[in-house]
């Protein structure tokens, strides 16, 4: 099975290691991007009760943990400085979701792939 377009191909400076061939890299990429889209949708949800708010927060945390696990397993790394460093989904000081590498100083991208 061949995927024409890796879902994260527009993320300048982010590399998903091709350790098992293009199709596996593409699957990781598509999973990560789809999970990010679902997380953005979950961010827009509002609960009317404290229980619903808690459930929404747990869904968001699960998506973030899943995305970070897949990025780690896929060997995603920032190539803007040497050596390449790991990338994690986190929040910035305003609470916005961002991808942030472990370089010092770090590089950040929004979820659309725009470098911040």
- Bridge partners of residue 98, in order along the sequence: 90
The one-digit pLDDT tens for each residue of the chain (116 residues) are: 333 334 455 567 777 666 556 666 677 777 777 777 777 777 777 777 888 888 888 888 888 888 888 888 877 889 999 999 999 988 888 888 888 999 999 999 887 778 88
Which pLDDT does position 101 carry in this prediction?
94
Which pLDDT does position 94 carry in this prediction?
87
Cβ-based neighbours of 30, under 8 Å, separated by 6 or more: 3, 6, 7
Alpha carbon separation from 33 to 24, 79, 81, 99, 107 (Å, rounded) = 14, 19, 23, 12, 19
For 49, the token pair is 């009760």
Cα 78 to the center of its chain, rounded Å: 12
Q: Give Dmax over CA atoms of the chain in angstroms.
A: 48
Which pLDDT does position 103 carry in this prediction?
95
Q: Tell me if 65 sits within 8 A of 47, measured CB to CB.
A: no
What order of strands is seen across the sheet that includes strand 77-78?
Answer: 14-15, 77-78, 85-91, 97-101, 108-109
Which pLDDT does position 106 carry in this prediction?
95
Which pLDDT does position 15 carry in this prediction?
75
């Amino acid at each position: 099975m061949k995927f024409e377009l890796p879902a994260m191909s527009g993320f300048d400076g982010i590399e998903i290691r091709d350790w098992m061939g293009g199709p596996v890299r593409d699957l990781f990429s598509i999973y990560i991007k789809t999970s990010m889209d679902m997380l953005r949708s979950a961010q827009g949800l509002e609960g009317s009760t404290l229980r619903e708010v808690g459930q929404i927060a747990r869904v968001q945390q699960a998506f973030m943990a899943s995305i970070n696990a897949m990025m780690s397993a896929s060997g995603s790394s920032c190539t803007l400085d040497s050596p390449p460093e790991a990338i994690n989904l986190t929040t910035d000081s305003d609470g916005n979701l961002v991808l942030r590498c472990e370089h010092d100083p770090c590089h950040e991208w929004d979820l659309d792939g725009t470098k911040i």
